[in-house]
Amino acid sequence: MKYYLGIDVGSISTKGVIIDSNEKLIAYEYLWTEGNPINAVKEVIKNLYSKIKDKNIKVSSVGTTGSARKLIGVMLSASVVKNEITAHAIGCLSRHKEVRTILEIGGQDSKIILINKGIVSDYAMNTLCAAGTGAFLTSQAKRLGIRIEDFGNIALQSKKPAKVAARCTVFAESDLVHKLQIGYEKCDIVAGLCNAVVNNYLNNVGKGKKILGPILFVGGVSKNSGVVKAFETSLNKQVIVDEYGHLMGAIGIAIIAKNSGFETLFNSDTIKIEFETKGIECIKCSNKCDIIHVLKNKKLIDSFGNRCENGIAKDYLLNNSL
């Protein structure tokens, strides 16, 4: 039996899974990135191995996805580095083969993926504004003095959800404060926020898309039962929520790594190695690229961000710029 590691590094959370040759989930971990993807991944790997009974398990291949996929791909000598659309689609299809529409809302972005006969036929993403994402709901929960884990259950208690202007985070917070001041019940405001998130998603990310069932809702926000109900009400269709919906990107990239046929030079001792990054602006041409150098034990091992040969890593090695 061989084993495969999938890492999905987002701006808010970092997810990791280990699957076997049969794509069975052996271990999984989900934690906050906290602005440091390198440390977050080290912690994820450490926790994954602590959950495995057989400590002799060796990972044959690694895949990375998410906003920090290139950086972590270099760090883990990943076999494959893929975007979130591909990873989520593969992860979802591995567990729900008939799915036609994937709704995904994460910490700071959201996406919709349309599937036709097991193949991605269309997609859209929203990364310009935090309104309508997990970070938006978390900030409103803090303002209301409730735990984000209780958000959904409180929303379900509402019989008359308030109308909240959530097309912009600033306007939403102003509207929320106003409604609290004039006496709206907290459950109605929470339900209103859930409805606003869904309306914002459908009017932006889902605009012009034909949403067909079966519909699968994934990402961290899929754990919010208030948002699930709001989707079902707006679409007038059943929305499926998978117990591992928050891990679909990691599951998908692990499967892609398994199917890649490439072996990875990886072991759990990676968490003991010192990795760091240094960002510089290349001034060798008018592009002025922002280049990220990745250092392993103080030695440059890779870089990315350059749009021409002027910014390749070897030039900086030769010039001892680091």
User: At CA 159, angle to CA 157 and CA 160, rounded to 5?
Assistant: 125
User: At CA 245, angle to CA 254 and CA 49, rounded to 5?
Assistant: 45
Least confident of 27-41, 124-138, 141-155: 124-138
pLDDT(137) > 80: yes
The structural domains of the chain, ordered by start, are: 3-88+250-272 (3.30.420.40), 98-241 (3.30.420.40), 275-318 (2.20.25)
Task: Band the pLDDT of 314: cuts 50, 70, 90.
Answer: low
Q: Which residue has the higher pLDDT, 199 or 121?
A: 121
pLDDT(226) > 70: yes
pLDDT(271) > 50: yes
Q: Where are the beta strands (DSSP E) in 222-289?
A: 239-241, 275-281
**What pLDDT shows up at residue 301?**
76
- Cα–Cα distance, 125 to 261 (Å, whole number): 30
Percent of the chain with pLDDT over 90: 49
Count Cβ atoms within 10 A of the Cβ of residue 71 and give its class: 0-12 exposed, 13-18 middle, 19 or more buried.
Answer: buried
pLDDT(56) > 90: no
Q: What does pLDDT average to over the chain?
A: 87
Here the tokens at position 70 are 């290139």
pLDDT in tens, 279-296: 888 888 888 888 888 888
pLDDT in tens, 3-49: 999 999 988 899 999 999 999 999 999 998 888 899 999 999 999 99
The average pLDDT across 109-118 equals 93
**What pLDDT shows up at residue 321?**
44
pLDDT in tens, 230-270: 999 999 999 999 999 999 999 999 999 999 988 887 777 77
User: At CA 297, angle to CA 291 and CA 299, rounded to 5?
Assistant: 50
Count of CB atoms situated within 10 Å of the CB of 46? 15
**What pLDDT shows up at residue 319?**
47
Q: What is the pTM of this model?
A: 0.86
The average pLDDT across 271-275 equals 82
pLDDT(65) > 50: yes
pLDDT(113) > 90: yes
**What pLDDT shows up at residue 322?**
42
Least confident of 36-40, 170-174, 202-206, 254-258: 170-174
Residue 179's Cα: distance from chain center in Å? 32
**What pLDDT shows up at residue 82?**
94
**What pLDDT shows up at residue 246?**
93
The average pLDDT across 74-102 equals 94
Under 8 Å between Cβ of 264 and 257: yes
Residue where the block lists tokens 């889902």: 206
Least confident of 117-121, 225-229, 299-303: 299-303
Under 8 Å between Cβ of 244 and 95: yes
Identity of residue 235: L
Omega prior to 214 cis, within 30 of 0: yes
